[in-house]
Protein backbone atom coordinates (compact mmCIF):
# COMPACT_ATOMS: atom_id res chain seq x y z
CA UNK A 1 0.00 0.00 0.00
CA UNK A 2 1.79 3.16 -1.14
CA UNK A 3 2.74 5.55 1.61
CA UNK A 4 2.03 3.10 4.45
CA UNK A 5 4.83 2.00 6.70
CA UNK A 6 5.03 -1.19 8.73
CA UNK A 7 6.45 -1.76 12.17
CA UNK A 8 9.00 -4.48 12.87
CA UNK A 9 8.47 -5.75 16.39
CA UNK A 10 11.21 -8.38 16.11
CA UNK A 11 8.73 -11.21 16.33
CA UNK A 12 9.31 -14.48 14.49
CA UNK A 13 7.58 -14.25 11.11
CA UNK A 14 4.22 -16.02 11.08
CA UNK A 15 4.50 -16.43 7.29
CA UNK A 16 7.60 -16.26 5.11
CA UNK A 17 8.53 -16.99 1.51
CA UNK A 18 11.92 -18.70 1.31
CA UNK A 19 13.88 -18.59 -1.95
CA UNK A 20 13.04 -17.41 -5.43
CA UNK A 21 9.93 -17.68 -7.59
CA UNK A 22 11.08 -20.74 -9.54
CA UNK A 23 11.88 -23.05 -6.63
CA UNK A 24 11.12 -21.21 -3.37
CA UNK A 25 8.57 -22.32 -0.78
CA UNK A 26 6.30 -21.19 2.04
CA UNK A 27 7.49 -21.33 5.65
CA UNK A 28 4.93 -21.02 8.45
CA UNK A 29 5.05 -21.10 12.22
CA UNK A 30 3.25 -24.36 13.03
CA UNK A 31 0.64 -22.91 15.38
CA UNK A 32 -0.60 -26.34 16.43
CA UNK A 33 2.67 -26.69 18.37
CA UNK A 34 2.43 -23.42 20.32
CA UNK A 35 3.01 -22.56 23.09
CA UNK A 36 5.04 -25.70 23.77
CA UNK A 37 7.40 -25.30 20.83
CA UNK A 38 8.17 -22.69 18.19
CA UNK A 39 8.46 -24.91 15.14
CA UNK A 40 8.29 -24.12 11.45
CA UNK A 41 6.45 -25.92 8.70
CA UNK A 42 7.98 -25.85 5.22
CA UNK A 43 5.30 -26.19 2.54
CA UNK A 44 6.82 -27.26 -0.79
CA UNK A 45 3.60 -28.37 -2.51
CA UNK A 46 0.01 -27.20 -2.70
CA UNK A 47 -1.30 -30.15 -0.69
CA UNK A 48 0.82 -29.18 2.30
CA UNK A 49 -0.43 -25.57 2.13
CA UNK A 50 -4.04 -26.83 1.99
CA UNK A 51 -3.48 -29.09 5.01
CA UNK A 52 -1.67 -26.35 6.94
CA UNK A 53 -4.76 -24.15 6.55
CA UNK A 54 -7.24 -26.96 7.21
CA UNK A 55 -5.63 -28.20 10.43
CA UNK A 56 -4.93 -24.64 11.67
CA UNK A 57 -1.14 -24.74 11.47
CA UNK A 58 -1.77 -21.32 9.97
CA UNK A 59 -5.05 -19.66 10.91
CA UNK A 60 -6.68 -16.30 11.34
CA UNK A 61 -8.39 -14.71 8.35
CA UNK A 62 -5.57 -12.46 7.02
CA UNK A 63 -2.87 -15.13 7.56
CA UNK A 64 -4.98 -17.68 5.69
CA UNK A 65 -5.28 -15.25 2.76
CA UNK A 66 -1.55 -14.51 2.60
CA UNK A 67 -0.70 -18.23 2.84
CA UNK A 68 -3.12 -19.12 0.06
CA UNK A 69 -1.56 -16.45 -2.17
CA UNK A 70 1.84 -18.08 -1.70
CA UNK A 71 0.19 -21.47 -2.23
CA UNK A 72 -0.90 -20.23 -5.66
CA UNK A 73 2.75 -19.50 -6.49
CA UNK A 74 3.66 -23.07 -5.51
CA UNK A 75 0.88 -24.31 -7.80
CA UNK A 76 2.26 -22.20 -10.64
CA UNK A 77 5.73 -23.69 -10.09
CA UNK A 78 4.20 -27.12 -10.76
CA UNK A 79 2.29 -25.86 -13.81
CA UNK A 80 -1.10 -26.23 -12.05
CA UNK A 81 -1.92 -22.65 -11.07
CA UNK A 82 -5.66 -22.71 -11.88
CA UNK A 83 -6.41 -26.09 -10.26
CA UNK A 84 -4.26 -25.24 -7.25
CA UNK A 85 -6.05 -21.93 -6.69
CA UNK A 86 -9.45 -23.70 -6.81
CA UNK A 87 -8.22 -26.43 -4.49
CA UNK A 88 -6.85 -23.97 -1.93
CA UNK A 89 -10.26 -22.26 -1.91
CA UNK A 90 -11.78 -25.48 -0.47
CA UNK A 91 -9.57 -25.50 2.63
CA UNK A 92 -11.85 -23.44 4.93
CA UNK A 93 -15.18 -21.73 4.18
CA UNK A 94 -15.68 -18.78 6.52
CA UNK A 95 -12.71 -16.37 6.33
CA UNK A 96 -13.35 -14.32 3.21
CA UNK A 97 -9.70 -13.22 3.05
CA UNK A 98 -8.96 -16.69 1.59
CA UNK A 99 -11.21 -16.10 -1.42
CA UNK A 100 -10.21 -12.44 -1.66
CA UNK A 101 -6.52 -13.35 -1.94
CA UNK A 102 -7.08 -16.20 -4.41
CA UNK A 103 -9.31 -13.99 -6.60
CA UNK A 104 -6.62 -11.33 -6.58
CA UNK A 105 -4.02 -13.88 -7.72
CA UNK A 106 -6.33 -15.18 -10.46
CA UNK A 107 -7.15 -11.62 -11.50
CA UNK A 108 -3.55 -11.12 -12.65
CA UNK A 109 -4.38 -13.32 -15.62
CA UNK A 110 -1.02 -15.05 -15.60
CA UNK A 111 0.45 -18.35 -14.45
CA UNK A 112 3.99 -16.97 -14.35
CA UNK A 113 5.45 -17.81 -10.89
CA UNK A 114 7.57 -14.65 -10.87
CA UNK A 115 4.61 -12.32 -11.41
CA UNK A 116 2.46 -14.30 -8.99
CA UNK A 117 5.16 -14.15 -6.33
CA UNK A 118 5.34 -10.36 -6.69
CA UNK A 119 1.58 -10.20 -6.09
CA UNK A 120 1.70 -12.58 -3.10
CA UNK A 121 4.48 -10.47 -1.58
CA UNK A 122 2.38 -7.35 -2.16
CA UNK A 123 -0.60 -8.94 -0.38
CA UNK A 124 1.75 -9.90 2.46
CA UNK A 125 3.23 -6.40 2.80
CA UNK A 126 -0.16 -4.70 2.53
CA UNK A 127 -1.53 -6.90 5.29
CA UNK A 128 1.28 -5.83 7.61
CA UNK A 129 0.64 -2.18 6.73
CA UNK A 130 -3.11 -2.59 7.32
CA UNK A 131 -2.41 -3.95 10.80
CA UNK A 132 -0.27 -0.92 11.62
CA UNK A 133 -3.00 1.42 10.38
CA UNK A 134 -5.63 -0.41 12.45
CA UNK A 135 -3.31 0.02 15.43
CA UNK A 136 -3.15 3.78 14.88
CA UNK A 137 -6.91 4.08 14.30
CA UNK A 138 -7.83 1.98 17.34
CA UNK A 139 -5.18 3.02 19.85
CA UNK A 140 -7.56 5.50 21.50
CA UNK A 141 -9.67 2.52 22.68
CA UNK A 142 -6.92 1.46 25.07
CA UNK A 143 -7.03 3.69 28.14
CA UNK A 144 -4.21 4.20 30.61
CA UNK A 145 -4.87 1.72 33.45
CA UNK A 146 -7.76 0.17 31.49
CA UNK A 147 -8.83 -3.42 30.91
CA UNK A 148 -9.35 -4.99 27.47
CA UNK A 149 -11.04 -8.32 26.78
CA UNK A 150 -10.31 -10.24 23.59
CA UNK A 151 -11.32 -13.60 22.19
CA UNK A 152 -9.49 -16.19 20.08
CA UNK A 153 -6.32 -14.89 18.42
CA UNK A 154 -6.58 -11.90 16.13
CA UNK A 155 -2.93 -11.20 16.75
CA UNK A 156 0.43 -11.27 15.04
CA UNK A 157 -0.03 -15.02 14.61
CA UNK A 158 -3.26 -14.41 12.66
CA UNK A 159 -1.83 -11.82 10.26
CA UNK A 160 1.35 -10.72 8.52
CA UNK A 161 1.76 -7.84 10.99
CA UNK A 162 0.79 -6.82 14.52
CA UNK A 163 -2.66 -8.37 14.29
CA UNK A 164 -6.06 -6.67 14.14
CA UNK A 165 -7.60 -6.85 17.64
CA UNK A 166 -4.09 -6.81 19.09
CA UNK A 167 -2.87 -3.93 16.89
CA UNK A 168 -4.09 -1.21 19.29
CA UNK A 169 -2.58 -3.19 22.18
CA UNK A 170 0.87 -3.34 20.58
CA UNK A 171 0.63 0.30 19.47
CA UNK A 172 -0.44 1.53 22.91
CA UNK A 173 2.21 -0.63 24.58
CA UNK A 174 4.90 0.81 22.29
CA UNK A 175 3.68 4.28 23.29
CA UNK A 176 4.27 3.39 26.95
CA UNK A 177 0.62 3.04 27.96
CA UNK A 178 -0.10 0.65 30.86
CA UNK A 179 -3.19 -1.53 30.60
CA UNK A 180 -4.35 -5.11 31.21
CA UNK A 181 -5.54 -7.58 28.61
CA UNK A 182 -7.89 -10.43 29.51
CA UNK A 183 -7.69 -13.28 26.98
CA UNK A 184 -10.55 -15.79 26.72
CA UNK A 185 -9.06 -19.27 26.42
CA UNK A 186 -11.37 -19.94 23.43
CA UNK A 187 -12.51 -23.53 23.47
CA UNK A 188 -12.43 -25.87 21.68
CA UNK A 189 -9.01 -25.21 20.13
CA UNK A 190 -7.73 -22.73 22.72
CA UNK A 191 -6.37 -20.06 20.39
CA UNK A 192 -6.70 -17.52 23.22
CA UNK A 193 -4.73 -19.62 25.72
CA UNK A 194 -2.17 -21.08 23.34
CA UNK A 195 -1.63 -18.15 20.99
CA UNK A 196 -2.89 -14.79 22.31
CA UNK A 197 -1.56 -15.33 25.83
CA UNK A 198 1.74 -16.48 24.32
CA UNK A 199 2.29 -13.64 21.91
CA UNK A 200 1.21 -10.87 24.31
CA UNK A 201 3.37 -12.31 27.06
CA UNK A 202 6.33 -12.46 24.65
CA UNK A 203 5.76 -8.76 23.90
CA UNK A 204 5.74 -7.83 27.59
CA UNK A 205 2.03 -6.89 27.62
CA UNK A 206 0.15 -7.54 30.88
CA UNK A 207 -2.12 -10.47 29.91
CA UNK A 208 -4.43 -12.54 32.12
CA UNK A 209 -5.96 -15.77 30.86
CA UNK A 210 -9.59 -16.54 31.71
CA UNK A 211 -11.90 -19.43 30.85
CA UNK A 212 -14.59 -18.48 28.36
CA UNK A 213 -17.32 -18.82 30.98
CA UNK A 214 -15.69 -16.18 33.23
CA UNK A 215 -16.31 -13.23 30.93
CA UNK A 216 -19.61 -12.12 32.51
CA UNK A 217 -18.16 -12.11 36.03
CA UNK A 218 -15.01 -10.32 34.95
CA UNK A 219 -17.16 -7.64 33.32
CA UNK A 220 -19.38 -7.27 36.39
CA UNK A 221 -16.31 -6.92 38.59
CA UNK A 222 -15.44 -3.80 36.56
CA UNK A 223 -12.23 -5.20 35.12
CA UNK A 224 -13.17 -4.62 31.47
CA UNK A 225 -13.48 -1.19 29.80
CA UNK A 226 -13.57 -2.39 26.22
CA UNK A 227 -13.92 -5.62 24.22
CA UNK A 228 -11.98 -5.88 20.95
CA UNK A 229 -12.04 -8.92 18.64
CA UNK A 230 -11.19 -9.66 15.02
CA UNK A 231 -13.50 -10.98 12.28
CA UNK A 232 -13.43 -13.65 9.61
CA UNK A 233 -16.06 -12.13 7.35
CA UNK A 234 -18.16 -8.99 7.68
CA UNK A 235 -21.41 -8.78 5.71
CA UNK A 236 -22.41 -5.53 4.03
CA UNK A 237 -24.91 -4.73 6.81
CA UNK A 238 -22.06 -4.97 9.35
CA UNK A 239 -22.92 -8.38 10.85
CA UNK A 240 -19.56 -9.97 11.66
CA UNK A 241 -18.55 -13.63 11.80
CA UNK A 242 -15.71 -14.43 14.20
CA UNK A 243 -14.59 -17.29 16.41
CA UNK A 244 -17.42 -19.09 18.20
CA UNK A 245 -18.06 -17.27 21.47
CA UNK A 246 -17.59 -13.77 20.10
CA UNK A 247 -21.36 -13.25 19.96
CA UNK A 248 -21.55 -14.20 23.67
CA UNK A 249 -19.13 -11.39 24.48
CA UNK A 250 -21.09 -8.85 22.45
CA UNK A 251 -24.31 -9.74 24.32
CA UNK A 252 -22.52 -9.58 27.67
CA UNK A 253 -20.84 -6.30 26.77
CA UNK A 254 -24.20 -4.73 25.87
CA UNK A 255 -25.69 -5.88 29.19
CA UNK A 256 -22.80 -4.37 31.13
CA UNK A 257 -22.64 -1.13 29.12
CA UNK A 258 -19.17 -1.94 27.77
CA UNK A 259 -18.27 -0.96 24.16
CA UNK A 260 -17.67 -3.88 21.80
CA UNK A 261 -15.37 -3.30 18.82
CA UNK A 262 -14.34 -5.36 15.81
CA UNK A 263 -10.90 -4.63 14.31
CA UNK A 264 -10.52 -5.88 10.75
CA UNK A 265 -8.95 -4.90 7.43
CA UNK A 266 -11.18 -4.08 4.47
CA UNK A 267 -10.13 -7.43 2.94
CA UNK A 268 -12.39 -9.06 5.58
CA UNK A 269 -15.57 -7.40 4.25
CA UNK A 270 -17.79 -9.30 1.84
CA UNK A 271 -20.13 -6.81 0.18
CA UNK A 272 -21.72 -9.69 -1.76
CA UNK A 273 -23.04 -11.03 1.57
CA UNK A 274 -26.20 -9.10 2.50
CA UNK A 275 -26.22 -10.17 6.17
CA UNK A 276 -24.66 -12.53 8.66
CA UNK A 277 -27.26 -15.18 7.78
CA UNK A 278 -25.51 -15.52 4.40
CA UNK A 279 -22.04 -16.17 5.85
CA UNK A 280 -21.05 -19.87 5.60
CA UNK A 281 -20.11 -21.17 9.04
CA UNK A 282 -17.45 -23.86 9.16
CA UNK A 283 -18.44 -27.03 11.02
CA UNK A 284 -15.47 -28.91 12.43
CA UNK A 285 -14.76 -32.40 13.72
CA UNK A 286 -16.46 -33.70 16.91
CA UNK A 287 -13.07 -34.79 18.24
CA UNK A 288 -12.10 -31.14 18.79
CA UNK A 289 -14.84 -30.90 21.46
CA UNK A 290 -14.65 -34.47 22.80
CA UNK A 291 -10.94 -34.06 23.54
CA UNK A 292 -8.46 -31.36 24.55
CA UNK A 293 -5.06 -31.62 22.92
CA UNK A 294 -5.68 -35.34 22.37
CA UNK A 295 -6.91 -36.08 25.92
CA UNK A 296 -10.49 -37.42 26.23
CA UNK A 297 -12.91 -35.02 27.96
CA UNK A 298 -16.20 -36.74 27.21
CA UNK A 299 -17.60 -40.14 26.22
CA UNK A 300 -15.95 -40.93 22.89
CA UNK A 301 -19.27 -41.36 21.08
CA UNK A 302 -21.13 -38.39 22.57
CA UNK A 303 -22.95 -36.26 19.98
CA UNK A 304 -21.19 -32.96 19.33
CA UNK A 305 -22.11 -29.67 17.68
CA UNK A 306 -18.95 -27.80 16.67
CA UNK A 307 -19.50 -24.62 14.64
CA UNK A 308 -16.14 -22.82 14.42
CA UNK A 309 -17.65 -19.33 14.15
CA UNK A 310 -20.68 -17.30 15.17
CA UNK A 311 -22.18 -14.08 13.89
CA UNK A 312 -22.41 -10.92 15.97
CA UNK A 313 -25.25 -8.73 14.72
CA UNK A 314 -24.29 -5.22 13.68
CA UNK A 315 -26.52 -3.67 16.36
CA UNK A 316 -24.26 -5.10 19.09
CA UNK A 317 -21.07 -3.71 17.52
CA UNK A 318 -20.11 -0.23 18.74
CA UNK A 319 -17.78 0.32 15.77
CA UNK A 320 -15.60 -1.53 13.28
CA UNK A 321 -12.02 -0.28 13.08
CA UNK A 322 -10.40 -0.73 9.66
CA UNK A 323 -7.13 0.45 8.18
CA UNK A 324 -9.07 3.17 6.34
CA UNK A 325 -10.94 4.50 9.36
CA UNK A 326 -13.74 3.81 11.80
CA UNK A 327 -17.25 2.58 10.85
CA UNK A 328 -19.54 4.01 13.54
CA UNK A 329 -22.42 3.44 13.82
CA UNK A 330 -22.32 0.11 12.01
CA UNK A 331 -24.84 0.45 9.19
CA UNK A 332 -24.91 -0.73 5.58
CA UNK A 333 -24.40 2.84 4.33
CA UNK A 334 -21.40 3.33 6.59
CA UNK A 335 -19.89 -0.03 5.50
CA UNK A 336 -20.34 0.86 1.83
CA UNK A 337 -18.91 4.32 2.44
CA UNK A 338 -15.73 2.90 3.97
CA UNK A 339 -15.22 -0.27 1.94
CA UNK A 340 -16.52 0.73 -1.50
O1 LIG B 1 -10.33 -20.78 13.51
P2 LIG B 1 -9.35 -19.63 13.51
O3 LIG B 1 -8.29 -19.76 14.55
O4 LIG B 1 -8.79 -19.38 12.12
O5 LIG B 1 -10.24 -18.37 13.89
C6 LIG B 1 -9.62 -17.09 13.90
C7 LIG B 1 -10.52 -15.99 14.31
O8 LIG B 1 -11.69 -16.17 14.59
C9 LIG B 1 -9.92 -14.61 14.29
O10 LIG B 1 -10.50 -13.80 15.27
C11 LIG B 1 -10.17 -13.96 12.91
O12 LIG B 1 -9.75 -14.80 11.88
C13 LIG B 1 -9.49 -12.65 12.78
S14 LIG B 1 -7.73 -12.78 12.70
C15 LIG B 1 -7.10 -11.23 12.54
Domain ranges in the chain?
A: 6-131, 140-339
Q: Which atom of ligand 1 is nearest to the CA of 95?
A: 12
- Given 30, 127, 184, 232, the catalytic residue: 232
Region 306-312: mean pLDDT is: 98
CATH superfamily to which 6-131 belongs? translation initiation factor eif-2b, domain 1 (1.20.120.420)
Pocket residues: Cβ below 6 A from ligand 1: 56, 59-62, 95, 152, 154, 158-159, 163-164, 191, 229-232, 242-243, 308
pLDDT at residue 3, rounded to an integer = 35
Distance 22 CA to ligand 1 centre (A): 31
Residue 5 has pLDDT above 90, yes or no: no
Instruction: Return the bridge partners of 41, or none.
Output: 28
Tens digits of per-residue pLDDT, 289-306? 999 988 999 998 999 999
pLDDT at residue 293, rounded to an integer = 81
pLDDT at residue 7, rounded to an integer = 52
96-106 vs 81-88: helix crossing angle, rounded to 10: 170
Residue 10 has pLDDT above 90, yes or no: no
Instruction: Choose which CATH entry (3.40.50.20, 3.40.50.10470, 3.40.250.10, 3.40.30.10) describes domain 140-339.
Output: 3.40.50.10470
Confidence band for 202, pLDDT divided at 50, 70 and 90: very high
Best residue among 15, 91, 152 to mutate for probing ligand 1's pocket (most ligand atoms within 8 Å of CB) is 152
Averaged pLDDT of the chain: 96
Confidence band for 9, pLDDT divided at 50, 70 and 90: low
pTM of the entire predicted model: 0.97
* Distance, CA of 202 to CA of 200 (rounded, Å): 5
Distance 227 CA to ligand 1 centre (A): 16
Distance 64 CA to ligand 1 centre (A): 9
Q: Is 333 a catalytic residue?
A: no
Residue 6 has pLDDT above 90, yes or no: no
Higher pLDDT: 7 or 291? It is: 291
Q: Which atom of ligand 1 is nearest to the CA of 152?
A: 10
List, in order, residues 6 or more apart from 30 with CB less than 8 Å away: 39, 40, 41, 52, 57
Confidence band for 149, pLDDT divided at 50, 70 and 90: very high
Confidence band for 94, pLDDT divided at 50, 70 and 90: very high
Distance 159 CA to ligand 1 centre (A): 9
Region 206-219: mean pLDDT is: 98
pLDDT at residue 271, rounded to an integer = 98
Confidence band for 11, pLDDT divided at 50, 70 and 90: confident
Give the Cβ contact number of residue 151 at 10 Å: 29
Closest by Cα among 324, 330, 318 to 225: 318
List, in order, residues 6 or more apart from 310 with CB less than 8 Å away: 241, 242, 243, 244, 245, 246, 247, 248, 281
Amino acid sequence: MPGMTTTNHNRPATIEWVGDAASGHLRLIDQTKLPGALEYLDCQDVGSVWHAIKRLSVRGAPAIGVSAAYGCVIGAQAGTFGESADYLATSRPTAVNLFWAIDRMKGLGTADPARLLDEAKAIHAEDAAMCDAIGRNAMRLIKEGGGVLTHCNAGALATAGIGTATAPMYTAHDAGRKFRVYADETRPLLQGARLTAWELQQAGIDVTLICDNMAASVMREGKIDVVITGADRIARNGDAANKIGTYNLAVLARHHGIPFYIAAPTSTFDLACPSGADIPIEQREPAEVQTAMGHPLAPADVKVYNPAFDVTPAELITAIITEKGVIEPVTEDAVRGMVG
